[in-house]
Amino acid sequence: MKFAVFASGHGSNLQAIIDAVKAGTITGELALVVSNNRKAPALKRAQDAGIKTLFLNPQDYATPTSYDRQLTIHLKQEQIDFIVLAGYMRLVSAFFVKTYARKILNIHPSLLPSFKGLDGIKDAFTYGAKVTGATVHFVDEKMDHGPIILQDAIKIAESDTIETLTEKIHKIEHRIYPKAIQLFVEGRLTMKGRRVEIVEKP
């Protein structure tokens, strides 16, 4: 299976995915890295790894849907089977979700449904939560709402700062995201309502 990673920033999750593909723990082909930010370090990470990249400027499109329609054209040209969002700082349109229904994965730095939005780590920390973590989920038309694939939790220590907690969360993300991607590649994720069940290997 061929997949694309969408990233807007530093690309640490992208790097974990690249490393997992190289190690063979993800057996899908990472065929394309897409960004809405021309200066995203994620694009350089991809180029350094020999992966094809695509930058599309949102300002060149009248609406989010027109932007996503153009993206879809590129994805079909590359024969992309599914999409992995990794720090993609842009909400995908309803058109895009419908086009790739149950084929878009995202990772969020909290235990959803708690602390949705851009600042999941900071929000959990400042709220005084005792436990937080990371969530891999399917994307639907609502932000940080789709069915949950994998979660992992950690306790927030009294000595933690936002910086140390962020580092801990990133380690969780880099571990569970490649695992979730491989489960998808192997066809081992099934849906029952909102529940995602993992099928054991035969």
Which residue numbers are catalytic?
108
The CA distance from 115 to 127, in Å, is: 9
The CA distance from 108 to 171, in Å, is: 13
Instruction: Tokens for 201, please give them.
Output: 């290997």
Q: What's the gap between Cα 186 and its chain centre?
A: 18
Secondary structure element (H or E) that encloses residue 77, with its range: helix 64-77
User: Which position has the token pair 């640490």?
Assistant: 12
Among 29, 32, 30, 38, residue whose Cα is nearest residue 9:
38
Sign, Cα dihedral of 19, 93, 111, 42: positive
